[in-house]
Structures are given as C-alpha cells and as structure tokens.
C-alpha cells in the first residue's frame, strides 16, 4: 500500500532530522496543523507553489522519485485530481488527446515507460 501524503511528509521530515515544531515554523504552519496533516486529519495544501515550498524545505530535489512520490501522494489525498505539479498540463490542447490515445491503445506500464524514455531522450526544444 502506498503511504499517504501525511505519512510521506512525516517520513521525509524525520529523515532530515527535524521535529514538528521546528519544521512547522520553517514552512509557516502551526505545529497543530502540521500534526493534523501528518495524521491525515487535514488535506495537504492545494496550491502547487505551496507544495513545492514544502518539498524544497524537505530537501527533495525537483524531478527526483521522492519529489514525484510527494506530489502523487498529495494528489491521491484528493481522489481524482492530478498532482499539483502537473495540473497545469491538463490545460494544454493535446494532453487529453495523448491520454485518450494511451487508453485506447491500452498501453501497459512497460510500454508507458518506453514512451517516457523516448520522450526524455529527445533534445530540449
């Protein structure tokens, strides 16, 4: 089972050796609100920039697997929503077409990984 956003937040906070009070002050939250988030009694922030601030405070590197897990867990806490760091992509004209094509072709995880690898190997525009 995947950890919740609150569980991941706590795991990452503990990994950098910060207590709740210290980390809450660092990210501008009341310790009681941080505790509520870590115990899944409160949802994570919705604002992508706020989530990025918290991720950076945790020492997560943008684009890393931990960064992705952090944003995916935040989205999962809001069933049906895209992770905050990619939500803006849904507004692009061809993104829904791409997702429908993937669905129509019933690509499995290996095929999706190959597609991602192909895209990542292309030079930046």
Among the residue ranges 84-88, 90-94, 109-113, 115-119, the one predicted with the least confidence is: 84-88
Q: What is the pTM of this model?
A: 0.65
Q: Does domain 5-87 have CATH number 3.30.390.30?
A: no
Cα–Cα distance, 25 to 89 (Å, whole number): 32
Q: Which pLDDT tens digit goes with each residue over 112-123?
A: 999 999 999 999
Residue 26: is its pLDDT beyond 90?
yes
**In b/e form, how buried is each residue of 15-35, taking b as 16+ CB within 10 angstroms?**
eeebebeebbeebebeeeebb
What is the pLDDT of the chain when averaged over all its residues?
90
The torsion region of residue 17 among left (phi > 0), alpha (psi -120 to 50) and beta comes to left
pLDDT band at 40 (very low <50, low <70, confident <90, very high): confident
Whether 46 shows a pLDDT value over 90: the answer reads: no
Q: Where are the CATH 1.10.260.40 domain residues in the chain? A: 5-87
Q: Which of 1-10, 25-34, 116-125 has the highest mean pLDDT?
A: 25-34
């Amino acid at each position: 089972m995947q950890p919740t956003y609150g569980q991941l937040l706590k795991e990452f906070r503990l990994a950098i050796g910060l207590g709740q009070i210290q980390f809450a002050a660092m990210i501008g939250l009341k310790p009681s609100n941080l505790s509520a988030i870590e115990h899944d009694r409160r949802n994570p922030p919705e604002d992508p920039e706020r989530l990025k601030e918290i991720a950076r405070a945790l020492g997560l590197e943008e684009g890393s697997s931990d960064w992705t897990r952090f944003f995916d867990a935040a989205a999962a806490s809001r069933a049906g929503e895209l992770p905050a760091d990619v939500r803006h992509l849904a507004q692009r004209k061809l993104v829904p077409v791409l997702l429908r094509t993937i669905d129509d072709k019933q690509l499995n995880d290996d095929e999706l990984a190959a597609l991602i690898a192909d895209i990542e190997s292309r030079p930046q525009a």
